[in-house]
A and B are shown apart, each in its own frame.
Chain A
């Protein structure tokens, strides 16, 4: 079945440093979503990418979808303590409409 791998599992950064999490699928994705889960909270939708090579920005967050639609990344510029949480990617493969979630990357920001 489809597998979605996300790396790294954890990332410690000093406030102000950049952060990137990577998502790789074993199969071609029709689209990919990114979610953020704050400690003690539930996942909250951030964005969806659909087109090959698509890049979208939300303030300090940059999301990319690979040309082959099998990988994606989330980059945060100049992290802040409010960025702390676990970031998940999720995407359905082929004709499926059910997304598979990656295991998430937990971001820890040290002030």
Chain B
């Protein structure tokens, strides 16, 4: 079974803090994704990585950066957290092949106060 884990289920940070969200997958998948999920807005793609050290901006990259130094790990960084970044953050991974099936982690609910 594919397993995608995220470093925290719940996180509370103060405005201006630097925040790291970590995601690890154990199936040697090439592709990894970071989404944020807000009520009524569905899943919006922040960043996508198609391989180690490779990244592409998604639909809402402003205020975020990412790091992929190892294949199994994809980190999302909020350089200076703001209250409008309070959200559920979901990581996903996918094998580069015929199936586009994404495997999601349990999510991190981030609150910025």
Contacts and interface: CB of A to CB of B under 8 A. Distances in A.
Given A42-B106, A43-B90, A43-B104, A101 B99 contact: no
Chain B residues touching A, range = 20 to 34
Contacts, number: 53
A100 to B, nearest CB: 8
B41 A103 contact: yes
Contact of B42 (A1, A88, A98): A88
Nearest to B104: A42
A31 B101 CA distance: 11
A45 B101 contact: yes
B48 interface: yes
Binding site secondary structure of chain A: loop
Interface in B67-96: 90, 92
Given A42-B107, A98-B56, A33 B101 contact: yes
Contacts of B100: 31, 33, 48, 90, 92, 97, 99
A9 B40 contact: yes
Interface residues of A, number: 23
Interface string A93-108: 0000111111110000
A71 to B, nearest CB: 17
Contacts of A88: 42-43
Interface in B28-77: 35, 40-45, 48, 50, 56, 58-59
B102 interface: yes
A68 interface: no
Contacts of B56: 98
Contacts of A90: 43, 100, 102
A92 B56 CA distance: 15
- The residue among B43, B101, B102 with the most chain A CB atoms within 10 A of its own CB is B43
Nearest to B101: A45
A78 interface: no
Contacts of A33: 100-102
Contact of B40 (A35, A92, A103): A103
Nearest to A101: B43
A33 B104 CA distance: 14
